Amino acid sequence: MGQDEIERNMGVQPLDGIMTGHELGNHDLVAASTEPMTHKAVQRARKGRRLTRHMKQRMADALTVLMRQKGMELEKPWTVKELFTY
């Protein structure tokens, strides 16, 4: 890989652990999203494929909505920094 190439695979992300821990599937996140989101995008996010800043924010927003729908108390909305390591 050349010096100018961007590393695209960042490894499994905290988002994956949070979703697994709460027994949430990719479809749950897609269904909760208020903006367009695909199952493929969620899978890529969980596995650590590099996403745009906007798509990472969509994931954080959808996770916040989903957990509130499930009746889980949140002190504050999820942030991109909490869900992604890059």
Residue 54 included in any domain = yes
Residue 43 included in any domain = yes
CA atoms within 13 A on the CB side of 54: 3
Residue 74 included in any domain = yes
- pTM here? 0.87
Q: Which of 22, 6, 23, 18 is nearest to 59 (CA)?
A: 18
Domain assignment of residue 75, given as a range: 14-83
Predicted local confidence at residue 51, as pLDDT: 93
Q: Which of 77, 81, 66 is nearest to 25 (CA)?
A: 66
- Looking at the 3D structure of the chain, how many domains does it have? 1
**C-alpha 22: how far from chain center:** 14
Residue 66 included in any domain = yes
Query: Each residue of 26-69: pLDDT tens digit?
Result: 999 999 999 999 999 999 999 999 999 999 999 999 999 999 99
